[in-house]
Structure formats: structure tokens, C-alpha cells
Structure 1
Amino acid sequence: MPARVARPDTPMTLPELDGRRASYRERVGEALRAAIIAGQLAPGRVYSVPALAEQFGVSATPVREAMLDLVKEELLEPVPNKGFRVTTVSEDRLDEYTRLRELIEIPTVVALAETADPEAIEALRPLAQAIVDAASEEDLLAYVEADMRFHLALLSLSGNGTLVETVRNLRLRSRLYGLTALLELGELEESAVEHLELLECLLTRDPKATRNVMELHLSHVRGKWAQP
């Protein structure tokens, strides 16, 4: 069964944002953001506002507004009279992003093994399971969305909002160029299960095991996941 995100004609749909009321601009932005990170919208390719608006079943205005928001995040760049191009990230820049994530995320999560409320950690299990389910169903867009929500929710237990927003921006800029390849190798579910393993390490208050899982998990970013 082919990866859903690997097909260029795969339709994108508007997500519900944590069950809350959200504007079309927000929902289109989330859908485009996930598609860019997962590689469904290819680096260097130009996408027109009218074509995407038709695909989403909305007017051009929220699509254009959402794409301008993604320009500010450096995920897109405007192409006069044509649309927006997905920006390309250099290998050196990807290495920089990954190193920053390692410096921030690993010690933060390791510290949670000793400080986080077990109930708060357990509350993340549905998100971790959603990642596993998405991998099992070969739904890469759902995988990316659930993975982002899980990691940011976990980091938010540190109580440092600036840290969470910094990691969010780094994750958005990193992209997961090789996520389809990971699926084709049959290793996406293995990576997904690491989220559940991480929760178990945190619940057993084991900093060493937590560090090991985090280091393994982040190694995918510049290992299997990040190969163009």
C-alpha cells in the first residue's frame, strides 16, 4: 500500500484544531504546514492559491492569508504572478536545527523524568497512540500532526513557554524529507512506538533510559528522516 503523502495527487483536508472553533485561515495553515513538513508539498515547487483553494473547498482569501503566514515562518516564499514556492533547506542548516533541538529537547525531557506529574505524563498516551495508529495506517500527514502535538505537549510540562515555541519553530524549519522512505523501509512504526517507550521511561522515573530513547529518536531527524 503506497504512502498517502507520497502521491502528488493526494487531496489535503482541513484538520480540526483540538476540537476548538478555528478560522479557515488557521485550518488551511495547519494543513499546509503539515504537508510541507512531511514532504507532500515539494521543496522548490510553486503552488497557486486558486488550485489549493479548490482542493480545500474554500475561497482563495483564507488560503492566501495562510500562505502569507507560512512566508513569515520561512516555509514558503512568494513568486510574483504565480503563487508560492516551498523553500529549500540546506544540509548545513538542517544540521544546525538538529543540533539545537538536541541541546534543548534532550535535557528538558530527561529532567521531566524526575519532576513531571505522572498523571500529566499519562495524559499524553492518547497522543502517542495516535502517532502509532497513523504509522500503522500509513497516513504521514496524520503522523506529522500527532508527532508535533505530542512533543510540544511533553515539553510544555517544563513550564517554559518560550522553550516550547522555540522547539516548535525548529521542528517546522527542519522538515522530514525522508519520512516516506522511512515508511517504505518498514521502519515508521518502529519510530512511532518510541513515543510510547518514552512515556514508560518517564513514568518509571528513569532519566538514563529517557535520555537513551530521546537520543535515538532525535537521531532519526538527521539520519533516516532527513535524507532529501
Structure 2
Amino acid sequence: MEYGPTAARRSALPPGRAEQVRGEHPHAQAHAEAEAAVPRPRRMPERHSVRDQILAALRSALVTGELEPGAVYSAPALAERFGVSATPVREAMQLLAREGAVEAMPNRGFRVAERSAREQAELAEVRALIEVPVVLRLARTLPADRWEALRCYAEATAAVAARGDRAAYAEADRAFHRAMLELSGNRQLVAVADELHRRAQRPRRTAAHLVADATEHSVLLEALVAGDLPTVESLVRAHFCND
């Protein structure tokens, strides 16, 4: 340890200058101070990821019929089922309420929506008004190889339909339609159509419904690749009537 006048002079210097006297590089000190001044990124709260996981699980339960149309479910009861707190469940159910999948019941919970045949027909009509003209326009202009890119989506719907997995089929079905509309390059149209598709999804009674729907995808794709416009128009209109 140093004592005497030299040490006194060093102690009177600013911290950075004193370190320079001791032989430390001033740029290294400046870099360290600059790094210390930069705010560290904060960890994002995990609540949203939990909510999103619960939202996906609830959507699957709605499609499979595990959450029955007309039944009322409380957030605490669902939270206990999923092993989480009630807050992310309540937030997820509120998002589903905005989509029209459930209805908030004050002091009771959320009632699963019961869509009448008329409501389903109206949703199908609106989807057809959006999707049919777009697909027909694309069928007249896109080369076969662009449609071939959708084959993996059609095969995915067929695979999950064969397993009878209704929740997985709901996602595969939406993915096929979304990929088809993305060929238009209109992101707003894709977003609106995807939301309508989600609203129109409902529990399917048997695996036969899934297989029939997946088969329509494959047949439609073959017609698009072949450029068979009359068949494309007939199939795409019938698809919404049978959905």
C-alpha cells in the first residue's frame, strides 16, 4: 500500500484519471461505464404466454365439443382443470368472447355459444363472398407450380382427418385456406378471412366429416393445378355449402 505525497495526489484525482495513473487504459474504463449506463432488457412477464397456451387449449376444447355449447364454465373451475391461476383463464375467455365463441355471464362465468343453423349458414355465405372470387381470380392467373406449393397443406389435412383428431384438423383446415388466400398477396383479406373461418368452426360429429372435408381440399387442389376453371368454381362454392 502506498503512503505519502504521491498517494495523496492520486486519491485527489477523479476515478477514471486515478485508474489511468495506475496503468489502466482510459478507453476500457469508458467502455465499462457506457455498458453500465445501458439499461438491461427486462424479462417479459410470463402471464401472456400462459394465457396464450390456455387460449389454444380452450379453442381445442370448443372444437372437440369438450366444452359443450350452451354450458356455463367459470374461470376458477377451468383454472383448476388446467392447473393455473384464474387470471390467464379469464383473459383467454374474454378473447373468446370477442370472437363470439363464448358469452360472458356476470357472476357466473362464460357460456359457450350455440350457433344456430342460420348463423352457420350466414358465416358460410360471408366466407364464400370473400374467398370464392379470390380463388377464381387466382385460378385464372397463377401457374400450376404455385398451386403445387399447397400440396403439403392438403396432405396435412388428410393425415389428421384419418386420425380423427378434430382439434388438429381445425388448425390444418385453417392453414390450408390461409395458404391459398396468401397467394393473393392481400394481408388484410387473409386476416379477415382467417377470423371468419375461426368463428365458423364447430364440433364435427364424426371422423367421416373430417375425411370428406379433407378430400374436397385435395380434389380442389388437383383442379387448380390442372387449370380446370369450371371444376374449380363448382368445387369452391360447394365447399362452403358443406363446411
Fold shared by both chains (TM-score > 0.5): yes
More displaced stretch, 194-203 vs 45-54 = 45-54
Measure, in 1, the Cα distance between the counterparts of 2:51 and 2:143: 35
1:190-221 deviation digits (Å, cap 9, x = unpaired): 32122122222222222222112212321212
The equivalent position to 1:180 in structure 2, one of 193, 205, 230, is: 205
TM-score (norm 2): 0.71
1:146 equivalent in alignment to 2:168: no
Deviation at 1:36, TM superposition (A): 2.3
Measure, in 1, the Cα distance between the counterparts of 2:100 and 2:121: 17
Equivalent AA in structure 1 for residue 189 of structure 2? L
1:206 equivalent in alignment to 2:231: no
1:219 paired residue number:
241
Measure, in 1, the Cα distance between the counterparts of 2:117 and 2:238: 20
SS in 2 for 1:23: helix
**Which is helix-richer, 1 or 2?**
2
1:1-228 maps to which residues of 2 (within 5 A)?
23-116=49-142, 118-177=144-203, 179-181=204-206, 183=207, 186-221=208-243
Contact 2:136 2:233 in 1 (8 A): yes
SS in 2 for 1:180: coil
Deviation at 1:120, TM superposition (A): 4.1
SS in 2 for 1:158: coil
2:8 paired residue number:
none
Q: Which has the higher contact order (CA 8 A, sep 6+)?
A: 1
Quickly say closer, same or farther: Cα 1:133–1:57, change in 2 above 3 A.
farther
Deviation at 1:151, TM superposition (A): 0.7
Contact 1:77 1:87 in 2 (8 A): yes
Contact 1:78 1:84 in 2 (8 A): yes
Deviation at 1:86, TM superposition (A): 0.9
SS in 1 for 2:111: strand
Deviation at 1:92, TM superposition (A): 2.7
Measure, in 1, the Cα distance between the counterparts of 2:179 and 2:187: 11
Equivalent AA in structure 1 for residue 156 of structure 2? A
Equivalent AA in structure 2 for residue 210 of structure 1? V
More displaced stretch, 101-110 vs 166-175 = 166-175
Equivalent AA in structure 2 for residue 80 of structure 1? P
User: Which runs of no fewer than 5 residues in structure 2 stay unpaired?
Assistant: 1-47
User: Which runs of no fewer than 5 residues in structure 1 stay unpaired?
Assistant: 1-21, 222-228
State the Cα RMSD in Å.
Answer: 2.3
Q: What is the aligned residue count?
A: 196
Deviation at 1:141, TM superposition (A): 0.8
How many percent identity over aligned positions? 43
Q: Work out which of the two has the higher radius of gyration on C-alpha atoms and give 1 or 2.
A: 2
SS in 1 for 2:205: helix
Deviation at 1:118, TM superposition (A): 4.2
Measure, in 2, the Cα distance between the counterparts of 1:59 and 1:201: 50
Deviation at 1:46, TM superposition (A): 1.1
Deviation at 1:122, TM superposition (A): 2.5
